Structure 1
Amino acid sequence: MTKARALSVDDPANDCPVSPETVGQLIKSDAEGATYLLDGIPEATRARLAVWLYGRSHTHEIGVRVAATCDGATLRRTAGLVGNVLYDLSRRPYAAPNHGTRTGSAGRISLGGSKRRA
């Protein structure tokens, strides 16, 4: 049994398990095109790719979609707790992160300052 190289945050481009061209095609493709691209990639590599994509804010959703093509054990072996969470996320409808935005009018902040009454 071979052990996969640990993922690193030092130089994330070095950790990408596929070519930059493949990542670009995956980002630009629709669901059917992505399925076609992923069919030729071994599951262990897809799991590493899912973690790599999910770790970047602009490719979260694609990472979740790639994770949906992997089984839970492979994702857990690849990324431990992160793989487990990614597996869970990939099995439910994707909800884009709101990054702390609020809805409604409660708690509005005015940049105009306070009005003083004389």
Structure 2
Amino acid sequence: MQMLENDFCPVRDELLGEMYRASEHGLPQLVASVSPDVRAMLALFCYRKSHLHSLALAIAASCTEQELVHAGGRVGSTLFALSREPAERTQPTSVNGRKPITLSTKPLSAVTPIDDELDDADFAEFAKAVTA
């Protein structure tokens, strides 16, 4: 098992960029151009980067469990399992391809209503102060 602390990309930056921009149909050819051991390391590298999570799952789907476990131990095993889950469970759905934003349903703070009506005693005190 290789150490995950070495946070380096196992492929050229250009190839990683091509994979990131590849369509769903073009990605398999790019992934197939990488050897199985490097592919497993790349899947784990991408998995540790939140913005590359979906790419990690796609790459991991082309790896065997043994390759991922050898490269990443328990994390590799978890990544293998995640890459085999149906897409609707692993990726949030949205219209524009971005992850949906979740907003809180709780109030940010409790606001006490302001009592801006003056009763007769308050008005008399106010009138006295203004005319003095």
Task: Give the structure-1-normalised TM-score.
Answer: 0.78
The unaligned stretches of length 5 or more in structure 2 are 93-98, 116-132
State the one-letter code of the partner of 1:96: Q
Structure 1 counterpart of 2:74, one-letter code: L
- Compute the TM-score of the two structures, normalised by the length of structure 2: 0.70
The aligned counterpart of 1:110 is 108
RMSD: 2.5
Fraction of identical pairs, as percent: 28
Question: How far does residue 116 in structure 1 lie from its aligned partner after superposition?
Answer: 3.5
CA change 1:99–1:6 in 2 (3 A) is: farther
Separation (CA, whole Å) in 2 of partners of 1:89 and 1:110: 35
Q: Report which stretch shifted further, 75-84 or 93-102.
A: 93-102
C-alpha deviation, 1:32, in angstroms: 1.8
Alpha-carbon distance between aligned partners in 2 of 1:77 and 1:5, rounded to the nearest angstrom = 7
2:32 equivalent to 1:39: yes
Kindly provide the CA deviation profile for residues 44-100 of structure 1, in whole angstroms up to 9, marking residues without a partner as x: 110000000011010001001100000001100100000000000000123237899
Q: Distance in 2 between matches of 1:18 and 1:88?
A: 24
Q: 1:96 aligned to 2:94? A: no
Stretches of structure 1 lacking an aligned partner (at least 5 in a row): none
CA distance in 1, matches of 2:47, 2:101: 19
Within the alignment, does 1:85 sit opposite 2:41 as a pair? Answer: no
Q: Give 1:102 deviation, angstroms.
A: 6.1
- The residue aligned with 2:54 is 61
- 25, 41, 63: which one aligns with 2:18: 25
For residues 8 and 100 of structure 1, do their structure 2 counterparts lie closer, same or farther at Cα, with a shift above 3 Å needed?
farther
1:6 Cα offset (Å): 2.0
Q: Deviations over 1:22-60 (max 9, x none)?
A: 000000001221111111111111000000001101000
Q: Distance in 2 between matches of 1:7 and 1:68?
A: 19
